[in-house]
Structure 1
Amino acid sequence: MSERTVTRTIPFDHALRGRFNAWFFSALDAYINRVTAPLKRTAFGSLAARTVVELGAGVGSNLRYLPPGAELVAVEPNSRMHAALAKRCAQAGVELRLITEYAERIPLADESVDEVICSLVLCTVADPDAVLREVRRVLRPGGRFRFVEHVAGPPRSIRSWVQRAVRRPWGWTFEGCDPHRDTAAVIERAGFQRTSVSDRILRGSVFYPVNTAICGIAWR
């Protein structure tokens, strides 16, 4: 399978933090996918499009949900993730088109794709509202945005307090990740024709601050 790169901005590189995150998500890939599997099956289980756009494709943790022979258009600005992503795509027989751009500015034409997916990404982007505007722009009418995200805990809960307490060091370590973001509200107000969102708890996860999660599909 071929690999193509479209560079629109300089990919970011947080040096030691970038290397740590690339290692972290590679080393814990099987564990994270086992914990999130029920949510990912709900959101990604019916993927059938030949071309799938993934925001924050990382090291390729969602390749197993793509149909055989698919093309992955990976919007991934973190340069430390690229080598592992390309290697895994080659192993999976998935054609990779790598876009080193931020998700707030997706260099794709209006109404040009049928499926956009992301997992554990909207917690990290600087402007989630702008990201979802871009998602709606590039999706064809009837196209689907599929998501799995960790979200803010219930108000006044212990988990919510912990999320707020660790927000700064957590965000620094994981390159901007906000453990207390109300991502469900962001998706609901994004203007999709229909949205299906399920609230979940990540059972068996040791990462207590980010164990409240949502999964679902939004239709353009």
Structure 2
Amino acid sequence: MTDTGATTDNPFFARLWTFLSNHETKEIQRLRTENLAGLSGRVLEVGAGTGTNFAHYPATVTEVVAVEPEVRLAPQAQAAAQKAPVPVTVYAGTVEKYLSDAVGEPFDAVVCSLVLCSVDDPDSVLQQLFSLVRPGGELRFLEHVATGGIRGRLQKIADATVWPRLMGNCHTHRDTEASIVGAGFAVNDARLEPALPAWLPTPVAEYTIGRATKPAV
């Protein structure tokens, strides 16, 4: 595990995310598997958390570089990497720091799972990720996103008050697909899935899951 020093430290969120990742529903596990299906070659995973994705990578993936900034989650990701069916290297630092230091061959794919809500500037991060993917390569995304109506208004209030502070800088009212397109990717396939039952009083409402491609030029 590479430790860069450019990390985050949110004890409450780390404990909560550890609990949630150890009690994931079959539905979210199904979505993780679907999101990674068919990948091959060299993959960059942004926001590894406790390494929940690692067990779902297909054997056609030859290398995963996984970035995780939270100081209490990165060691758990490293432990998961040692059990993964494919080679995984964990980079303990922010994605912004990784992107500023990145060198070497381009990646065949980038995977973003429940992370673009928490970066300070998703448009900038996606533009930099675009530059690290080979022409014709993919972005796979599984992210919770903005919704409309009363829930959407709740999201805006939550994002402007306590939610980001409690939930690791999570912002629930982001148009992530628009940011992906704005970075230069072409979204080939995407759909919305319910994140939680509609009656739950939480700002998190829907996931978007999909695939985007960097034009081959």
Shorter-chain TM band: 0.7 to 0.9
Give the Cα–Cα distance (whole angstroms) in 2 for the partners of residues 207 and 73 of structure 1. Answer: 36
Alignment counterpart, residue 206 of structure 2, candidates 193, 208, 212: 212
Q: Which shows bigger deviation, 209-218 or 102-111?
A: 102-111
Cα drift, residue 48 of structure 1: 2.8
Letter in structure 1 aligned against 2:210: G
Distance 1:31 1:48 in 2: 28
Per the normalisation by structure 1, the TM-score is 0.84
Residues 11 and 46 (structure 1 numbering): CA distance in 2 closer, same or farther, change over 3 Å? Answer: same
Q: What fraction of aligned residue pairs are identical, expressed as a percent?
A: 33
Please give the residue correspondences for 1:64-79 in structure 2 after superposition, counting only pairs within 5 Å: 64-68=55-59, 70-79=62-71
1:5 maps to 2
User: Is 1:120 equivalent to 2:114 in the alignment?
Assistant: yes
Q: Does 1:39 align with 2:31?
A: yes
- Among 44, 49, 53, which residue is 2:44 paired with? 53
- Checking the alignment, whether the CA contact within 8 Å between 1:111 and 1:137 is kept in structure 2 is no
Gaps (5+ residues) in structure 1?
A: none
What's the counterpart of residue 153 of structure 2?
161
Deviation (angstroms), 1:110:
6.8
Describe the shift of the 1:158–1:63 C-alpha distance in structure 2 as closer, same or farther (beyond 3 A).
same
Q: One-letter code of the match for 1:92?
A: A
Q: Is the 8 A contact 1:47 1:65 kept in 2?
A: no
Query: Whole-Å Cα distance in 2 between the matches of residues 21 and 35 of structure 1?
Result: 22
Distance in 2, Cα, partners of 1:44 & 1:33: 17
Deviation of 1:89 after TM superposition, in Å, equals 1.4
| Distance in structure 2 (CA, Å) of the matches to 1:174 and 1:33 | 20
Partner amino acid for 1:75?
A: V
Question: Following superposition, which runs of at least 4 residues in structure 1 exceed 4 angstroms of deviation?
Answer: 203-207
Please name the residue that 2:174 is paired with.
181
Q: In 2, distance between residues paired with 1:148 and 1:210?
A: 13
| Counterpart among 86, 95, 99 of residue 91 in structure 2 | 99
CA distance in 2 between counterparts of 1:204 and 1:31 reads 16
Q: Which residue does 2:79 correspond to in 1?
A: 87
Q: Which amino acid aligns with 2:45?
A: E
**Unpaired runs of at least 5, structure 2:** none
How many residues end up aligned between the 2 structures? 209
CA distance in 2 between counterparts of 1:121 and 1:144 reads 17
1:71 CA displacement = 3.0
**RMSD over equivalenced CA pairs, Å:** 2.3
Question: How far, CA to CA, are the matches of 1:194 and 1:110 in structure 2?
Answer: 26
Q: Distance in 2 between matches of 1:71 and 1:41?
A: 17
